[in-house]
Amino acid sequence: MRTAPAVLVPTTEAGTAPARRAPTTGMSGARVLVTGASLGIGRAIAFGFAAERARLALTYLETEAKAVAEQCRDLGAPAVTLHRLDLGDERSIRTCAGEVVSILGGLDILGDNAGVVWRRFLEQTSAEIDLQVRVNLLGTIKLTHLLLPHVRDAVIVIGSTASLHGTATLSAYGASQWGVRGWAKALAREQPDKRIVLVHPLVTATRMNDFRSLPPERVAEVVLMVARGELDLELGADVDVRDLVRAP
């Protein structure tokens, strides 16, 4: 594992970086929501927090997550609840947020992970382009808007290296992720009492890319490092997974 380089951070209007907050170091008993937890990176993140004995709220859409919840309990999570969430549907977002707050009484960590991606730009339909923006950008913003008043510690946004540079085959998806990145950085300035950080995976072995390249467990390792406060980060920081793990 390479040592992480200094992370470039946004500056405030006065020209100084947002101040650091003391992070949570112990995850035992922490209340954590992970969206998109039935597959891929989200599932690996859920397993990571479960091993830390966090109390989990997990969302799923098309793939039922009962087996994931059972494994989280086996790994040590003292409580696991499942919530269906469609980030493209306002009613679903509101229902999910209400359930989570009602059951857990609030959150210590919000893990914004769920998203969708499609093919090359000219191979997509207008509806597919719209869905990527509605789910990846607007859905993430709306869910966070409802939950942020109930978050005690951190919002960890799973972004993408597609938001750090142009990716030829991911134009519409990349646009949604650039939007997420800009929103999260601005929100970090607006909410300096919370740790708001972006974690950017490179191409990861998930359903989004036919299960090729970096195992999602490696991304989850980085997310847990952020959650535990093991990285020296400014608010609104970009954590590029490529700087911390090596692809196989």
Integer Cα distance of 62 and 65 in angstroms: 9
Q: Tell me how many degrees the CA angle 44-3-228 measures, rounded to the nearest 5.
A: 45
235: left (phi over 0), alpha (psi -120 to 50) or beta: beta
The total number of residues written for the chain in this structure? 248
What is the side-by-side order of every strand in the sheet holding 151-158?
80-84, 55-60, 31-34, 107-112, 151-158, 195-200, 238-240
The CA-based angle 139-149-84, given to 5 degrees, is 40
What is the per-residue pLDDT across 23-68, written as a single tens digit (0 to 9) for each? 456 899 999 999 999 999 999 999 999 999 999 999 999 887 899 9
Residue 246: pLDDT band (50, 70, 90) is low
pLDDT reported for residue 118? 74
Alpha helices in 52-157 (DSSP H): 66-75, 90-104, 126-132, 140-147
Distance (Å, whole) CA 3 – CA 225: 13
pLDDT in tens, 77-136: 999 999 999 999 999 999 999 999 999 999 999 999 998 887 788 899 999 999 999 999
Q: What is the pLDDT of residue 16?
A: 42
Q: Which residue, chain included where needed, has tokens 């750090």?
A: 164
Q: Which residue has the higher pLDDT, 215 or 157?
A: 157
Does residue 152 register a pLDDT over 70?
yes
With CA atoms as reference, report the closest residue to 175 among 145, 139, 132. Answer: 132
Report which of 180, 81, 103 is spatially closest to residue 139, judged by C-alpha positions.
Answer: 180
* pLDDT tens per residue across span 184-216: 999 999 999 999 999 999 864 444 445 456 889
* Amino acid found at 234: E
The fold of the 31-243 domain, in CATH, is Rossmann fold (3.40.50)
Domain borders along the chain are: 31-243
Q: How confident is the model at residue 4 (pLDDT cuts 50, 70, 90)?
A: very low
